[in-house]
Amino acid sequence: MRKKIIFQKCNYNNIFFLLNIIMTFINFMIEYHLYPEESEVDVNEYYKYYLPIQMINYLYTYNISDFIAFIPYLIRKRILKKIEVNIFDTNTEDNNTYTDEKTSNLIYTNSEKSDSKKKKKEILLRLIIISVLDFLHKFLLILFNIIFPENEFNVIAFSCMVQLEIVFQFICSYFILKIHFYKLQYLSFYLNLGIFIILLIFDIIIVSQSAVFDGKVYYFMVSGIILYCIEYSLVKQILLYGFISIYYLMLIKGLFVLFFVIVFSLIIFLVKKDIYPIFVFFLTTKKYILLIIAKIFSNFFLSMFLWLIIDRFSPNYLPFSLIFNEIIYFIVDVVYNKKNYEIINWDLYLRIVLYVISFIGVMIHNEIVVINICNLGSDTKYFLDLKLENEELFTNTDNPEILKRYETFEMDSVNEEENEEQINNKKETPNED
């Protein structure tokens, strides 16, 4: 093939990436407006609002949002029942001896295995682990404000954290999901690993020189990234292994996380009694009540599109959204949090260039762009599908012009020998006329 760079067509499932990016923007706009204005509270005690806001943002609204999945879960269940009834009716007309046992096997390919007690226990154990990881990831964000109550949880834009997540997501997919990567995926991995090292050096320089930015936040960020990268891989594993829907997964996860949230809240309210008035402030002001409700629904849609991406693709496809999300963080920082934006000086443009290169690497990893140089794209889905089409065309066609395009040297030699034998046989056989 002469083309060196091939852009593949987008399919229907790619819309979930766009919806995830849009919901991320809406979510962060709501989150920023949940911080009270300086005119509404005492400026000297503004830091006391950090912990309650984090608890509302990352514990309560996320946990409540999981239970909204009950609505699409019921809708999906009803649709599946209608499909099952229609298939049963169709088969009953064709074969009156069709049994209920057979119709129950229409949705699942292996009902005996999925119904086994051993498998149910394994699924339950994985769900508990996923719930623990989900809670711990959000707990770490809150733990920062518990240990450092006067510091706000902020990360500078275009930092090394996204690159770390891309690299670690690749590692988790390789070891947990046993995904086999090809040459282009490895090229993308090493590219993002190199960018991560460069950005890490820049971040260390900023942390060491800046008196405004708190570098301790990175310890909590790194731990959180490791936790939810493992969580996403386990979610994909349970979707493949358990034959369960993402809505059922969200409901069960929400129930387990609810237990941890209740225990944690009881401890916090007993230890830190001064946060009572702050929660009363948020729950009695109309503006913040509406923002909290909006945050619950935005969290639900954000989680739903995230799980759909993992379900339809895999966790190592998520970096496509992460790059765009980082751009959203940067825009929000410029508009609402200029203090964070002003920390980055000379290295801002270089960071943006590195992110553009990283985005190209992500497109290569997701096979949106296929590079046909030095046999890099030979084992991509695009070329494998093309090879399959060519083999089917060669097998099914009788057109000599098409056959010539796929003939090998050996096939040509065999055909020449057969032609010579046929000519000799004709010469030896007398003419009937």
* Per-residue pLDDT tens digits of the chain, which is 433 residues long: 566 666 667 778 889 999 999 999 999 889 888 888 878 888 788 888 889 999 999 899 999 999 999 999 999 888 888 776 667 666 655 555 444 444 444 444 445 554 567 778 888 898 999 999 999 999 998 998 888 888 877 777 788 999 999 999 999 988 998 887 877 788 889 999 999 999 999 888 888 877 667 778 888 999 999 998 999 999 998 888 767 889 999 999 999 999 999 999 999 989 888 888 889 999 998 999 999 999 999 999 999 999 999 998 889 888 888 888 888 888 877 776 655 555 667 788 888 899 999 988 888 877 776 666 665 555 556 555 555 555 555 565 655 655 555 554 444 444 444 444 544 454 444 444 3
Q: Decide if 381 is inside a domain.
A: no
pLDDT for the residue numbered 229? 93
Q: Using the Cα atoms of residue 153, residue 154, residue 160 and residue 163 in order, give the sign of their dihedral.
A: positive
Range of the domain at 324: 19-356
Q: Decide if 13 is inside a domain.
A: no
Q: Select from 309, 340, 356 the last residue of a domain.
A: 356
CA distances from 397 to 1, 107, 412 (A): 22, 37, 17
Q: CA 26, CA 31: separation in Å to the nearest integer?
A: 9
Shared domain check, 343 and 411: no
Q: Decide if 226 is inside a domain.
A: yes
Q: Decide if 12 is inside a domain.
A: no
The length of the chain in residues reads 433
Shared domain check, 265 and 182: yes
Q: Decide if 33 is inside a domain.
A: yes
Q: Decide if 376 is inside a domain.
A: no
pLDDT for the residue numbered 7? 63
Q: Decide if 224 is inside a domain.
A: yes
Shared domain check, 194 and 96: yes
Q: Decide if 106 is inside a domain.
A: yes
Shared domain check, 303 and 174: yes
Shared domain check, 399 and 298: no
Shared domain check, 412 and 279: no
Shared domain check, 185 and 332: yes
Total number of domains in the chain: 2
Q: Select from 310, 341, 356 the last residue of a domain.
A: 356
Shared domain check, 23 and 128: yes
Shared domain check, 138 and 61: yes
Shared domain check, 253 and 313: yes
pLDDT for the residue numbered 373? 65
Q: Select from 356, 375, 409 the last residue of a domain.
A: 356
pLDDT for the residue numbered 124? 87
Shared domain check, 227 and 111: yes
Shared domain check, 199 and 159: yes
- Residue 371, strand partner residues: 5
